[in-house]
Amino acid sequence: MRYPDSAVAWRADHHLLTALRRCGADPYVAGAARALSWAGEHGAVWLAAGLAGAGADPVRRRAWMRATALVAASHATSMVVKRVVRRPRPPVVPLVSTAGRHSFPSSHAASATAAAFAFGALLPGGPVPPMAAAMCVSRLVVGVHYPTDVVCGALLGGVMARLGRGWSLAGVRDD
């Protein structure tokens, strides 16, 4: 049987979600995924990291604050898109509760990816990009997003951070 392209994508989305959700059967994986999901709620861990960067780096405080504003804007934009699209969450038993019932795009992925780009420009080689990637995957492991939700959330956060890069780094010297 041949499926239209959208049906193939839908099936792939569900198969990948199911496979990653199964990883949550391991208590260590489930615990880590829950912790990442909790920390990323409303972009909290990324906003705290940006404020910590601003406090620890007085020379580039404005750049850190602007980068943090980009993270917050990415999260807020994803929430607006989520209210417009209104895609229901996956029909699986999640490992965490959610603040809302809509899944597209992943706001965790949007804020995490924005942080990876915005803070990564200020702290090259730092821990933010791998933590952001882990947070994106955690949303699938806990079963609250489809892979396309996470990919589109990450694209949204990355585009917003890229568009705001010049503004956030204004006045920062490359030494």
C-alpha 124/C-alpha 62 separation (Å) is 17
15 or 43: which carries more pLDDT confidence?
Answer: 43
The whole-number pLDDT of residue 93 equals 82
Could you read off the pLDDT of 18-53 as tens digits, one per residue?
A: 877 777 788 898 899 999 999 988 999 999 999 999
- Name residues whose C-beta falls within 8 Å of residue 165's C-beta, 6 or more positions apart in sequence: 117, 118, 121
> What is the mean predicted confidence (pLDDT) over 160-172?
86
Helix (H, G, I), strand (E, B) or coil at 2: coil
Cβ atoms < 10 Å from Cβ of 46: 32
The whole-number pLDDT of residue 2 equals 47
Could you read off the pLDDT of 83-112 as tens digits, one per residue?
A: 999 998 888 888 888 878 898 999 999 999
C-alpha 116/C-alpha 75 separation (Å) is 13
Name the pTM for this structure.
0.87
Mean pLDDT of the chain: 88
C-alpha 131/C-alpha 119 separation (Å) is 12
Phi/psi of residue 102, each to 5°? -105, 145
What distances in angstroms separate CA 10 from CA 5, 99, 137, one per listed residue?
A: 9, 24, 18
pLDDT surpasses 80 at 16:
no
Question: Do residues 136 and 150 touch, judged by C-beta distance below 8 A?
Answer: yes
> Look-up: residue for tokens 């200020």?
122
The whole-number pLDDT of residue 162 equals 93
Question: Do residues 25 and 130 touch, judged by C-beta distance below 8 A?
Answer: no
